[in-house]
Structure 1
């Protein structure tokens, strides 16, 4: 059974049909042999019995006619009439000689004689010669005019003729008995041949049915397993492989399907893991942006303080004219706030650098993930094309089924021509035709299942390409914008740091140059006014940056939502 399972479908079908053809050939050979024996028997009966019997009957008829002519010849007084009768007797004798020659030709061999026929025939020839000798003597006496002597000799011819006719009757009886015996033997042989033919037909039918059942069971079981496998794939279940132990086309196809399922399972696992990583990464980016937004709010508050401080410096400059102590106090406060602004700007610059670094890392991870998943998805889609080979195999099976159907139709036609001898073959042809029709229906079902699997691969390919397109066109570009904004934040923080350092230097110069208080106060008032203007510009820039960060936050939220949807999508598959 294991050898049959591992045979190719083509080999199985050819072997099955060759086996059936072999048995049919044996049946046909047996029938031809029986017909040949029957023909030889009838030929022997006709040539060895009927023809000799007919020849003997003709000889007997001629002898009786000769006897009648002899009776007329003996009593005939007219010489002309006598001459006619003698001619007729000679002609009948010649006919008997030809018939005897033909009879001898039909029985020229030792095996052509019926049992006891040769002895009776030899006796007949001896008696016939004696009869003819006496008959010729009677004719001679009549020709010599010795009528009385011929009349006295004539009864002897009748006695000899009776013996000849008795021998002929024995020959006829022997041939009739032989024909009857041979007919009984052939009738018995015919019954035995009919019984043997019926037994062979039953054996052929049983073997054909067994072969059909085995092939149908093997093919239907394999197709049923493939159908269940396709239904599990349609339901997103990739957990169960097809278990089959055979190396034919079905076994190779199922092995390829199992391999394709393993590849799809591995791909889905990787998509699941990477979607989880992408989700976590999106959450981290979202948290970083929230933190940056909070820092921007803090910077905005510091800028407000700087702006307020500039206004206070401007007010103090108006009061310095009346009190240098108040000027010194204002200078000290301004120096402290400038130092604090410098420290805050340095801290902001560090955080902006971290945000820039994380953005660049996110870009690299996203680009690497995009490239890796694109290659694997394309590879998986290419691997999925193995399903098209099922359709090709199904076409091969459909072609075989069509040829089988045509063969069964031809066989049915030949069986119909054969009459009673082909009835058994008609049944076999019908069974083969049913098997071909079932194979055709199964091929249609295979085509439908393959179309569904191909549609599923097409949907997976479309969804995967949409995801990769979204990452490439939206997520990657948004991360690039985030890195650029972080660079701008770093540059702005450097600018604030430089400005704070300048303010601190100017306040130190004001403290050192007390003898130039008036001029310094004027300069400080001017610088305070400039600082207020710069603070307003910085505040406006920070406000714009805050809005940009809020937009990035929304994009990050969309990315997180997309990652969640991708994760939910792959969770539908059972791996």
Structure 2
């Protein structure tokens, strides 16, 4: 059977068990209580009957004792004490006992008075004073024939009680206690004490057994001594009573010394408890209605039923309250779990008020929420950071690709300008050779120029070597994608050395132009002899001017290239910082290579400075012009070659930047998807 509510399930499962156990508890308690109460009542009844029986026995014992004392007194003094004295003695004795009506001293014929057959004074109560009569001491009454006297004769020397009898004269139920008088084994006579049992009857009749019970007293043969129906007293016998259940019970009462039984009267059952008064064999009966006996049990049963019902009701209420409390906590936990399942982590933690299994469940749910919330918050923050970095990196990559394109265009222009510069240099070189042939006195300066040219050649070789090294480094960067960009930027710094060389060429051209001007002045001073030299000097000056103009264009181009390289360097530095911190710390080696290039550039600058300082005269200037022209030619060729290398490196770097841009776009898309997924959770 499936239940939709825990309270219904618990009530259906527990309530029948509780009711069954309550029923068994009430039943067992009822049976046990009934048994205990009956045993207690039986014990109480037996105790009460014992007390009453002992009371009756005690009263009768006092009577028999009084009879025995009078008999003993008469036995020892009858020969010396007068009847008058006995009468006084007996009169005092009967007033000392409430049951005694009178006492008689009955002698055997001629024992007290040899002349009298009947000697039997009878002393009885008459108001406050005893009175003596001899009405029973005569032949007419003949006390020798009565049972009470014969009992004394046949007795064993102990006082004997007679059967009850009704005295019509006194209108009283009486009984006599007879104590024999024996002298030296011979029967002397008897002392009787007549007692009125009405006091005993009243005592028994007044006994209240419980609330509605009563007591009865029977003779040994079952005659009623007391009865609620006064007509049955001393006239009816229990064995012939009209109540059949009582007649049936009377057999056990008369046979056994004590016991109990039941009888029915007027439709109501009674419990009968009986015992025997040993002195007389009388039967003392206590009768109590079973309804009264069972009343405490019924009351206990009712109370237990009420308590059981109240306990069941309280159990139901407690179960319902407990289940409501549990369901309330479970619903809170369920609602909390549902909101977490829906992605709502902004829900407040469950307030834990208990330390039981429900409290532990709520604590576990709270812990789960806090840990998942921390994880999701961390993912959200990381997703935002990745998205932001990806956006920045994407912008930097786009800018870098654009700068690479600009660098490539600038380098191509440099190559073209260097080609033009090479042609102009060849023309300048031809002019310088003509000037060198014309100016003999400059031969020594030509040697010096040769030495300087050799130095410049060696430096050019060094530059070539470094260019090859840069090319190899660029090739290595092409093979290793993460190194291409840095090497390309470092190789591009050769443009600065080209600028320095162009500056040197510009200065040399200025010096050549100055020398040409001086030569023209000297030729003018020589007159006709110097005209040819003046023409040559003019051509040299013209070529120097053209060279200066060309070098100026080269410098402008180099400035543009440097500006582009500076922009590239700035953007590349941002990328290098990112790569250095997150991709590969090994890029630090490229910084060292850049420092080395800086030192080389300083050396070149220092060398060119020394060249400028050594051109103090025209000879060195011409040689320097010649060497410079040659250097320009070689540098132009090297610049063209380096430009091709740079273009190749820039193309590789541009391709790598494109790949990076693609990866950044994919990473950005992943970050956006992750951010979208995280946003589905409410924190």
TM-score of the superposed pair, with normalisation by structure 2: 0.42
| Structure with the bigger percentage of strand | 2
Which structure is larger by alpha-carbon Rg, 1 or 2? Answer: 2
| Structure with the bigger percentage of helix | 1
TM-score of the superposed pair, with normalisation by structure 1: 0.48
More RCO (CA 8 Å, sep 6+): 1
